[in-house]
Amino acid sequence: MNSYIQEQIHAFQEQNKNRGRLLVSCPDKPGIVSAISKFLYSFQANIIESSQYSTNPEGGDFFIRIEFECPQLKEKAAEMEHQFTEIAETFSMDWNLTHVYHIKKVAIFVSKELHCLQELLWEWQSGDLMVDIALVISNHEEARAIVEGLQIPFYYIPANKDIREQVEAKQNQLLQEYDIDFVVLARYMQILTPKFVAAHPNKIINIHHSFLPAFVGARPYERAYDRGVKLIGATSHYVTNDLDEGPIIEQDISRVDHRDDVIQLKKIGRKIERSVLARAVKWQIEDRVIVHHNKTIVF
């Protein structure tokens, strides 16, 4: 990592050394917000941002994201997690308490098309994606110069369906070695095995060059052109073993018409893909996504 990025990260960590985030999902019933607020108050924490959602106040599910400032958070963190466990058990909560000073580590997988990778790198260099891009893995060499020019480790691992398990064994080894928090598929054109996906549940973010659920799978622009669509789009989602059907994080669209051929559709689509993937990664970094069944709540 170059010194400029390191300086940005250190400044961010110092600024947010006492900032925490709490994500909760549980069956909805009275008293949840009160219990959480009293818990945070007991640690002298000040709530900075709070967003909540209930599917149905009577027998539905409840979701909340709270961002808070807490003096000496690092010193209090272990005790806070210990004490919150009792509240979580009372309300049958799934919960996650994170610390903003912890910069998440990401691995980016890419193939030949580099536009999504380049967008992530631009956002990262500008400080708009506060993340540690720990490494880039590719089954092609096209990205090497760009990646290594930014002092990011680059690993070329040829891949095809005949050697998929061996390839993924190497990839998993690297993910463990770099202590990766999540993976981004920035137009990585290989299907992952169920074993690999199961090892990283809701930790693999993909960009699909279509507005799902339309045109699942390969060659969506060609099929969209043949269908005469008037809107094209892109979808970022978590990877599951159902191809292109994982929980959707972010989407966007652009209007097109009969004058746009397949080449033009691809050009328009790439712009959408770049921004959609960057936003999805940002929501992941900022702990804004709660997965509920095959859907997401994005605060």
Classify 178 as helix, strand or coil.
Answer: coil
CA distances from 265 to 119, 211, 276 (A): 19, 13, 16
Cβ atoms 155, 138 nearer than 8 A = yes
Residues 83 and 136 in one domain: no
Read off the CATH number of the domain in which 205 is found. 3.40.50.170
Residues 71 and 24 in one domain: yes
Residues 259 and 171 in one domain: yes
List pLDDT tens digits, range 28-53: 999 999 999 999 999 999 999 999 99
Q: Determine the Cα–Cα distance for residues 182 and 107; give it in Å rounded to an integer.
A: 7
Distance of CA 77 to the CA centre of its chain: 24
Residues 54 and 174 in one domain: no
Residues 178 and 75 in one domain: no
Going by pLDDT thresholds of 50, 70 and 90, the confidence category of residue 200 is very high
Residues 129 and 263 in one domain: yes
Question: Is the per-residue pLDDT at 215 higher than 90?
Answer: no
For residue 221 the two structure tokens come to 């622009």
Residues 74 and 198 in one domain: no
Question: Is the per-residue pLDDT at 1 higher than 70?
Answer: no
Question: Is the per-residue pLDDT at 211 higher than 80?
Answer: no
pLDDT computed for residue 213 by the predictor: 65
Residues 265 and 248 in one domain: yes
pLDDT computed for residue 97 by the predictor: 97
pLDDT computed for residue 176 by the predictor: 98
pLDDT computed for residue 70 by the predictor: 98
Residues 148 and 29 in one domain: no
Among 56, 78, 99, give the residue marking a domain's end. Answer: 99
Residues 26 and 174 in one domain: no
State pTM to two decimals: 0.93
Question: Is the per-residue pLDDT at 229 higher than 90?
Answer: no
Among 72, 99, 126, give the residue marking a domain's end. Answer: 99
37 within a domain of the structure (yes/no): yes
10 within a domain of the structure (yes/no): no
Among 70, 99, 128, give the residue marking a domain's end. Answer: 99
1 within a domain of the structure (yes/no): no
Residue 194: other Cβ atoms inside 10 A: 9
Q: Of 278, 209, 285, whose CA–CA distance to 244 is shortest?
A: 209
pLDDT computed for residue 219 by the predictor: 83
Write phi, then psi, for 191 (nearest 5 degrees): -80, 130
Going by pLDDT thresholds of 50, 70 and 90, the confidence category of residue 177 is very high
Return the percent helix, strand and coil in the chain, to nearest 5: 40, 25, 35
The residue range of the domain holding 294 is 105-298
The share of the chain scoring above pLDDT 70, in percent, equals 99
pLDDT computed for residue 193 by the predictor: 95
Q: Of 75, 81, 74, whose CA–CA distance to 22 is shortest?
A: 81
Residues 122 and 66 in one domain: no
Residues acting as catalytic residues: 244
Number of domains within the chain: 2
73-91 vs 32-42: helix crossing angle, rounded to 10: 160
242 within a domain of the structure (yes/no): yes
Contacts of 151 (CB under 8 A, 6+ apart): 1, 2
Contacts of 222 (CB under 8 A, 6+ apart): 262
Question: Is the per-residue pLDDT at 74 higher than 80?
Answer: yes
Residues 77 and 133 in one domain: no
List pLDDT tens digits, range 241-291: 988 889 999 999 999 999 989 899 899 999 999 999 999 999 999 999 999
9 within a domain of the structure (yes/no): no
Dmax over CA atoms of the chain, in Å, equals 63
